[in-house]
Amino acid sequence: MEHLSFVRPASWAEVLSEWRDREAEWGWEEVWRSRGFESWDAWRATYTAPLQFQERTWEMYRVDEPAVLIPKMWAVAYSGWKRYYPVGAGKAQLADIARHPDLPANSKVIGLRKSFPGPTTIIGIRQGEELAVFEGLHRCATIALEAQNQRQVARELTIALTEFGSDEAGLFEKAITQKA
């Protein structure tokens, strides 16, 4: 895969644990509690279980050129990101999201533009040559936004990646497409 260098195999337990640790620093507890979940794991399982993440093979890759690769990746269809999609679009690449005039005012993006974490890891899914960001959309939107301005904020970026088989093209498409 272009712009990715294999680092090592990984387990879902490892990927999930690192994700949990990253989000502990972002203040998501208020969000999952307000939605009636008893734990972060229960909340995030609503997103990961339909994609059978716990049953998949995972690998870690170094992203060699984040400012080149990330804007080309699809955003997984989280409802909170729909407002940054091009008008009428059911799915969007990070370059599309980065062009939205309101993105620079997103509070998490503002913070990331001032102080981008490094090293950092995102979670992605792959189907054929298509890649999508499953976790790390604020960081990736910031990377894509800064790339438009010929600036690179991500110095050390890793992606935990799993591949959807050729028979799972519909599942991948469903993961990246917003409902009307």
pLDDT digits 0-9 by tens, 130-170 = 999 999 999 999 999 999 989 999 889 999 999 999 999 99
Please indicate, yes or no, if residue 101 is contained in any of the structural domains: yes
pLDDT digits 0-9 by tens, 79-118 = 899 999 999 999 999 999 999 999 999 999 999 999 999 8
Domain extent at residue 97: 4-9+56-176
Strand partners, 74: 93, 132
Please indicate, yes or no, if residue 18 is contained in any of the structural domains: no
Please indicate, yes or no, if residue 62 is contained in any of the structural domains: yes
pLDDT digits 0-9 by tens, 1-41 = 789 999 999 999 999 999 999 888 777 788 888 889 998 89
Alpha helix (H) ranges present in the chain?
Answer: 12-24, 29-34, 40-48, 66-69, 94-98, 107-114, 137-148, 169-176
Please indicate, yes or no, if residue 51 is contained in any of the structural domains: no
Strand partners, 120: 157
pLDDT digits 0-9 by tens, 66-78 = 999 999 999 999 9
Task: Report which of 178, 73, 56 is spatially closest to residue 134, judged by C-alpha positions.
Answer: 73
The model's confidence at residue 178, banded by pLDDT at 50, 70 and 90, is confident
Residue 153 has phi, psi (to 5 degrees) of: -105, -30
Note the pLDDT of residue 153. 93
Q: What is the C-alpha to C-alpha distance for residues 90 and 145, in angstroms, rounded to an integer? A: 20
Note the pLDDT of residue 180. 59
Q: What is the C-alpha to C-alpha distance for residues 113 and 133, in angstroms, rounded to an integer? A: 19
pLDDT digits 0-9 by tens, 44-56 = 999 999 999 999 9
Please indicate, yes or no, if residue 113 is contained in any of the structural domains: yes
Please indicate, yes or no, if residue 85 is contained in any of the structural domains: yes
Note the pLDDT of residue 109. 97
The model's confidence at residue 42, banded by pLDDT at 50, 70 and 90, is very high
Task: Give the number of domains in the chain.
Answer: 1
Please indicate, yes or no, if residue 122 is contained in any of the structural domains: yes
Please indicate, yes or no, if residue 35 is contained in any of the structural domains: no
Note the pLDDT of residue 76. 96
